[in-house]
Structure 1
């Protein structure tokens, strides 16, 4: 059983690092520092009426960059887990307190973030 747990642990470490790189690339695309088709819109497409609020887009990109960086650090695993729980909590708050976010996309992000937070 310990072997399986170790394998799952190492696989999750790679997934978390890949997710951190993905988040940083998405944030840089939103800020228009790099241009990778589709990456600049994945996060923004979850938010209704996002195309006219440029300051929102920039701050959202900074937030995405922040938790992407957190996931790339080699710090305490609880710090990385917390980044996923915070992401799930923030998206859940937006989903249930406003009508500004698409339900299906939000539920996907919440579910994946909670799973990554628990498993990593």
Structure 2
């Protein structure tokens, strides 16, 4: 069972600790980037996935008048395969039912598996 929450400043430490376990996220957490990343989490449209009281993933999207652009989607390895990524994607689409949602991705096979169609170099939900 999971719960999708709107990200708030109070979630910062738990989310950063989760991402800190992943070497691929070190660019976001470096001394040069961490301040900008923290601001982006608050300024973008950010949602968390919580399972059994623990944050297990997040999605951050950029919103403008032309569409919704998912910048990051992350689910911790031990929680993958439970549909949490799809739930986060569903939440952003639910929040913006009349907008096109695009994913800026380096995980193309994941989005293809979910049935999203490729539009140039991005995927459209």
Same fold (TM over 0.5): no
Q: Which has the higher contact order (CA 8 A, sep 6+)?
A: 1
Bigger Cα Rg: 1
Q: Pick the structure with more strand per residue.
A: 2
TM-score by length of 2: 0.35
Q: Pick the structure with more helix per residue.
A: 1
